[in-house]
Structure 1
Amino acid sequence: MKANFLATLILAKGIAGHAIPRHSSCKPAAPATGKAVYFLSNDAENSIVALPIQPDGTLKAGKRNPVNGVGSNVIDGATKEPAAPDALVSQSSLVISGKTVFAINAQSGSVTPMTISDDDPTNLLFRSGGASYIQKPFPNTIAASAKNNVLCVATTATQAGVSCAGFHDGNIDPFRSVLSFDLGQSNPPVGPTNTVSQVLFSDDESMLITIVKGDPMANKTGFISTLPVSEIDSECPHDTRTSPEGTAVLFGSQIIPGTSTLFATDASFGAAVLDIDAATGGASIVGKQALDDQKATCWAAYSETTKSVFVTDVAVPRIVEMSAKDASIISQIDLSHTGDAGFIDLAAAGNFLYVLSPGTEATGAAVIVLDIAGGQGKAKFLQRFNVEGLAGKNAQGMAILQ
């Protein structure tokens, strides 16, 4: 450390003691916290709930921003009733690009873009173009590529597939059908199996990736669809579909930055790290890990601070930290003391992890905050912020303004 400091001092002042002009090539330090947390109420009056993040990472009272759209629920295959929690059986039901939040309206079949106010990140403003309709029922997951100015939405009912549109300054062009998936679904769809899980872009934004769950009980195989972004506007887009060996109900996924790998949960066993071949679009297993006592491990969030992935289970009150390289278990955070039955969507920002809880009749919905500044295996419970009155068990999605 002393040698490095001395070398810096010599460079800065020069051997003769004179200053030497120089420019730093260092990147600015990543912020320790985000600015606000966003998720969907997914109710009949669908809204984006926005909670401000304080300097210590904790949350405080925010706002419910109606989006002029209607949320919805899949039908639970076991109970034949509207599913809740996990009403949309997906990850990424809203996404941020620049100063715009794009929100899914499952019942309306539309996407609402809203601008984040410069003065208050919890105050969202309608775009002049308003909601954009997809022309297919039950959209449940969305991805945005700022590099390509492309917005893609997956639908998972009678016309399952992916539709995409250009977006400029937050306004959305008309959607165009890009891919179709023959799932044989109803409207609303029956889940959670045999539905689309997530749509997302590769790290370099050159490839569109869609995760589709299988249904082992019906002998239906899930798959990963990959499509070059260059083909989105073609007359006949051709994707590659792979069913990685040992996977069955692939769900929430995270691109590992700077790599060609994808971390994916699988509700049938735990989670896996997959490599996406840039040339062929095929996906192969790098490593996989079963989780003991899991009920349905479905959501994942990568943290740049810990260089690891955190996963949640809707029916187990814990968060499992896993390796981004091979999915091995790093730590398990027991949160049973919060009174929550389990957790769904989550996202990391700086030194903190934010986790959506659908709550119980006794506790109500909430966002759990973990301090992860200590690095791998050092996550600590920080706060349980109750959002009762803003959202309930239908709530879904998680995005953070950095």
Structure 2
Amino acid sequence: MKLSVQSVLLSLALAYCSSATILPRWGKTLEMNSCKGEASGAAYFMTNEPTGNYIIASDIGSDGKLNPRRAVYTSGLGGHANNGGGGDGTISQGAVAVNAASKLLAAVNPGSHTISVFSFDSSNPTDLRLVGAPIASGGEFPTSVSFSKDGKMLCALNGGEVNGIRCFQVSSNSISPLSSTQRSLNLNQTTPETGPPGSVSQIFVAPDGMNASDPGYLAVWDIDSSNSTSPTLSKDFRRISAPSGGQNLFGLVPVKGQQALAVADPAVGYNIIDLSGQNRSASYAVDGQMAICWVAYSEKTGNYYFIDAGADRVTEVAVDGSLKGSTVNNHAVGNNTGPLDPSVATIDGTDYLYVLAAASTEVSVMKLNGAGQTKNVQKLDIIGPASFVGLPVNATNLQGMATYTK
């Protein structure tokens, strides 16, 4: 059974410019492109290679399209779960996370059991600078990371034989473990983790608390913030039942303006889980779905975008004020693209959806013109620029997707 751990506080066309000098294959920063045009933000994902994990950072242009700029070494190793050798090597959402308030990026290194944190400047967000050295994740095979809203705390989820969560105090020049934040899930797991059944999937930090879920319950750790310099977690988690019909909880996002979660469920479609005590939780089947595992939210359309790796599509869902979900439309990503992690970025008043199409070694960029209206505007080739600088990239290892906008 899928165990999904979240932290919730509650309550193509690729245009190349002239290339920079190619650095050694395992240089700490590989310059993929010397274009220095005005960028509205950046998008990030990781190679997750067992020989060395790199973050590929791309500029986001004013038209929402991506221009790959750099591959930056995490100083750690990627890793692949025991999941039959297919894609989604970490069996997770949130392998890479960005916090706009602190200008920090974090990534997991499953193969070396560490977390890497980078700082960046808003004027050049693809110029990532490693903060200190990678830090031990507090367990084995870390799969997901999440920042607190202010960016001063980072929490990591471990899915291996030593599994559970650990939180850290972070800044642009330091990262250190927070005492009394390491908590075990006591799962019977392996290193690398084995799944998807029985594996963890996501950690998520929201304003007031911390949650974890599996098919049947949400496990909630409260955060004691009485000492703002050293938050601690409650010793035990409490359980909140999943809605009837829900089976395999995976990626999640908060429901806007509600004490609720929109949660991907590869067995049926998705779940809306009410945490307000009003008993409005429900499970929703999506016709033709095969593996809905990831989800992102658009402020501009007000809808939720569930990623289906098996059906190669995005299912757009509306959630009303009573927490009732309904399918708005299905958007094709492309045959045999294997879409995984998504992220939404707002550029000049328009939202764009960025989806890591791992199987086709691309990033799919979709312009969200309004509710139910999505236009594919770019298929960013990954192999081309990676090969140009000698960077190994394999479809089965690629993972993560996060964006930053100015």
**Shorter-normalised TM range:** 0.7 to 0.9
The alignment status of 1:63 with 2:79, answered yes or no, reads: no
Counterpart mapping for 1:292-307 below 5 A:
292-307=287-302
CA RMSD between the two structures: 2.2
TM-score under structure 2 length normalisation: 0.79
Partner of 1:266: 265
Greater C-alpha radius of gyration: 1
Asked if the contact 1:317–1:334 (Cα under 8 Å) also holds between the matched residues in 2, the reply is yes
Aligned ranges 1:2-401 → 2 under 5 Å: 35-44=41-50, 45-76=52-83, 79=84, 83-97=85-99, 98-127=102-131, 129-147=132-150, 149-169=152-172, 171-174=174-177, 176=179, 177-202=181-206, 205-212=207-214, 214=215, 222-230=216-224, 233-234=231-232, 237-244=235-242, 245-277=244-276, 286-325=281-320, 326-336=324-334, 339-350=335-346, 351-359=351-359, 364-372=360-368, 374-388=369-383, 389=386, 391-393=393-395, 394-401=397-404
Distance verdict in 2 for CA 1:40–1:175, change over 3 Å: farther
Relative contact order higher in (CA < 8 Å, ≥ 6 apart): 2
Q: Is the 8 A contact 2:222 2:234 kept in 1?
A: no
**1:132 offset after TM fit, Å?**
1.1
Q: Which amino acid aligns with 2:156?
A: V
Could you tell me which amino acid in structure 2 is paired with residue 228 of structure 1? D
8 A contact 1:134–1:175 mirrored in 2? no
* Mapped partners of 1:309, 1:195: distance in 2: 24
Task: Give how far 1:48 is off.
Answer: 0.8
Q: Is this contact kept in 2: 1:89–1:195, CA < 8 A? A: yes
SS in 1 for 2:145: strand
Identity of aligned residues (%): 26
- Cα distance change on mapping 1:74 and 1:319 into 2, 3 Å: same
Contact 2:138–2:158, Cα closer than 8 Å, also in 1? no
Q: Is the CA contact 1:316–1:341 (under 8 Å) kept in the aligned structure 2?
A: no
Whether the 8 Å CA contact 1:297–1:314 is kept in 2: the answer is yes
Whether contact under 8 Å (1:224, 1:283) holds in the other structure is no
In the alignment, the residues of structure 2 paired with residue 342 and residue 43 of structure 1 have an alpha-carbon distance, to the nearest angstrom, of 18
Compared CA separation, residues 400 and 284, structure 1 to 2 (3 A):
farther
Deviates more, 1:230-239 or 1:96-105: 230-239
CA distance in 2, matches of 1:310, 1:366: 19
Rate the CA distance shift 1:234–1:122 in 2: closer, same or farther, 3 A.
closer
Q: Which amino acid aligns with 1:323?
A: A
Which deviates further from its counterpart, 103-112 or 148-157? 148-157
Task: Measure the CA separation in 2 of the matches of 1:189 and 1:386.
Answer: 30
- Cα distance in 2 between the residues matched to 1:183 and 1:118: 40
Moved more, 142-151 or 160-169: 142-151
Q: Secondary structure at the match of 2:68?
A: coil
Provide Cα deviations, 1:56-95, integer angstroms capped at 9, x if missing partner.
Answer: 111123211111000101101xx4xxx3311001101111
1:340-366 CA-to-partner distances (Å, cap 9, x unmatched) read 34310001111211111012xxxx401
Q: Unpaired segments of 5 or more residues in structure 2? A: 1-38
Is the contact between residue 53 and residue 59 of structure 1 (CA under 8 Å) also seen in structure 2? Answer: yes
Deviation of 1:317 (Å):
1.6
In 2, Cα distance between equivalents of 1:257 and 1:352: 18
Contact 2:224 2:233 in 1 (8 A): no
Match of 1:23 in 2: none
CA distance in 1, matches of 2:305, 2:333: 14
Q: Which amino acid aligns with 2:114?
A: S
Match of 1:8 in 2: none
One-letter code of the match for 1:253?
Answer: L
- Structure 1 residues 331 and 170 mapped into 2: Cα distance closer, same or farther (>3 Å)? farther
Query: 1:335 & 1:94 partners in 2: Cα distance?
Result: 21
Does the aligned pair in 2 maintain the 1:113–1:170 contact within 8 Å? no
Q: Distance in 2 between matches of 1:145 and 1:86?
A: 25
Deviations 1:27-72 (A, max 9, x none): xxxxxx9501011111121011111111111112321111100010
The SS at the match of 2:213 is: strand
Return the alpha-carbon distance in structure 2 between the equivalents of residues 307 and 300 of structure 1: 13
CA contact (8 A) 2:151 2:170 kept: no
- Aligned-residue offset at 1:283: 9.8
Separation in 1, partners of 2:146, 2:279: 23
Alpha-carbon distance change, 314 to 148 in structure 1, aligned in 2, over 3 angstroms: closer
Q: Which segment drifts farther, 170-179 or 62-71? A: 170-179
1:22 aligns with none
Counterpart AA for 2:171? H
Give how far 1:266 is off. 0.7
What's the offset of the Cα at 1:119?
4.3
Q: CA deviation at 1:148?
A: 7.4
Flag as ranges the 4+ runs of structure 1 deviating above 4 A: 231-236, 282-285
